[in-house]
Structure 1
Amino acid sequence: MVRAVLTERLKAHVNSICEEASIIPFDSIRIYAYELPQGETPICDRNIIDETKWYRATEDMVTNATTSGICGTTFPMWLQDTIPIAQTTIGIEFDCKVCVPGLHTACDSNFLVTIMNCGEFRVYKLKKPSSCPRAYCFGYGVRDIPPTESTSKPQIEHIFTRESGFIHYQVNNFQCVFPFLNSSDPLKPYLYQIHWYINGDVVYVTEAVKREDFAKTYLNEKNGILKMGIKVSIFINEC
């Protein structure tokens, strides 16, 4: 009876970790096939990772050596270990070695992260890298032909949105406005990533999103606007 109770508690604990794991930010561009465009701000997990959280991604962490400038960052960190995928490993936490590439080596230094097999996917408890720009690389993706079309110069518009909570309130937003492009392949819609600048300094780089999710790219008090009397500018990356 005691053993059965402990087993059920363990299952509940594992299910809680797996269900509540957060999607790692910038999941869509952390892939091996994504080459960092010139002028794009690289991801830095030193400013992103919360070491108390569990994260998941669309694909597992890359397990072969990386090169500079892929996975959305300058120095993409990779797993020099085996990912636990066997049925018998579900719910078990494994300490696995992550490599940090350098200028001339694929593994300049290393440290341990924790991985748990949730069955259909894995979750990761990650550590912040010691410096920037370094970020974890997840998945290989498919190298595709980048779009050659261009859109007109984007404009910035100010709008209010209504948020619900204990009380209703308005949020002060800036949105990027430009004509959206139509992909020739409906199965491969264009993604849009917005780089927001305040007084010439980049303050917020959005995830690459589809047209229908474009509201996620707004600049507001949650991700960048701290005061008025500022100069706001933008850069669009189409992929």
Structure 2
Amino acid sequence: MHPPHNQLSSFYTNHTLIFHHTFTMADNYPTYTRPTFDSICLTGLSKDELRDGLKGAVKEYRAHLKRVKKAQIKWLAKARAHEQAATLHPRDFGALETVPCMTATPMSGYREAIELGRVPEDPALLYAYLPTEIVQTCVDNRNLEAVPSTYFPGVVLAFELCPYNRWISPVSASYKYQQRQCSLVEREQMQSFLAIFPTDRFTAEEDGVWTRCITRGHFDIVAHGEMIWPSVPNPSDTEWPTATGWE
């Protein structure tokens, strides 16, 4: 039964307000602010120093992940309190409830769990080798979205090949990309590295190559730095060439 005509305006206004209030309550989850991590710059370190530098960066990052986990727990408590107050069915927040995640927006998208022990190396990091300008943009933006498809062909490519490896060279680094059909990558572009931990969105492929199924989204960069390569040989040099890694 409808209310009298002279009460219709009040009736619909009140019910619209009730509907709006219900919608707002259901949608008004607390804001999540993920702690930020400043990538450790290791530019200038020699190969002999890089491994220790990376281990130090990992130690700082592990401390950061403790803060991330605390922030997740605090946010989840507020989210559950909101659900109870609004009589909402509890949402499944996936890995956010159990382990530190890369996720900056838990209300949307995938909750990406960080996996510290998957890579069989110490430190257990993965690396990408890129032009310095691209690496710096990734560091500044705290994501990998600035890397063009020349290097990340629809997926993130990262390698177990570490910057302190005795035999690493511009050729060996660029060849890792070329093996994945990134034929436009050249050795001269292997200027800097970024070091990251894999997440549950990474797949271990063959020959120490790892792929992440998307390139979007927040991503912590544990460390970065410029590579120190031997000097490029001078073509006019009349002496016999020596092994430099540029051949």
TM-score normalized by the length of structure 2: 0.27
Question: By percentage of residues, which structure has more strand?
Answer: 1
Question: By percentage of residues, which structure has more helix?
Answer: 2
Say which structure, 1 or 2, has more relative contact order (CA 8 Å, 6+ apart). Answer: 2
Q: Which has the larger radius of gyration?
A: 2
TM-score normalized by the length of structure 1: 0.28
